[in-house]
Amino acid sequence: MRMLRITALVLIALLAWLQYRLWFGHGGAGDVRVLSQQVHGQERDNEGLKQRNDALAAEVAELKSEDGGAAVEERARSELGMIKPGETFYRVVETQPAPPPATPDAPAPEGGQ
């Protein structure tokens, strides 16, 4: 009878130790949860990068296509401000509305004296 109790206590202690290792030990449930969150975050980052890579691949394909000259010209005009010989470049500048005049009751603008 005494041997049965000792065996039962050893088995219960072993079970408790294994449960502790499962839930709180290295590689346990907490670590799995943290790693799972990291994996999901990395998958989101990868999806964004994949979309960017797809857009760049489409742009490269457009530049390499037979009608790539038009795409190159469009980029040169928009990004570098280039114009063709004989063309006249006009820049339209919209004016900013004038600030309302300051009244004696109004507080001075920030940075003013």
* pLDDT at 81 (0 to 100): 81
* pLDDT at 35 (0 to 100): 93
Question: Distance between CA atoms of 75 and 77, rounded to whole angstroms?
Answer: 5
* pLDDT at 106 (0 to 100): 57
| Terminal C-alpha separation, the chain | 96
pTM for this structure? 0.46
CA dihedral 60, 62, 68, 73 (to 10 degrees): -80
**Can you give the residue ranges of every domain in the chain?**
2-80
* pLDDT at 51 (0 to 100): 97
For helices 68-80 and 29-64, the axis angle rounded to 10 degrees is 110
CA dihedral 84, 80, 59, 72 (to 10 degrees): 20
For helices 2-24 and 29-64, the axis angle rounded to 10 degrees is 30
Residuewise pLDDT in 10s, the chain (113 residues): 889 999 999 999 999 988 888 778 788 888 889 999 999 999 999 999 999 999 999 988 888 887 777 888 888 888 888 888 888 888 888 888 877 777 766 566 665 55
Looking from the CA of 87 toward its CB, the CA atoms found within 13 Å total 9
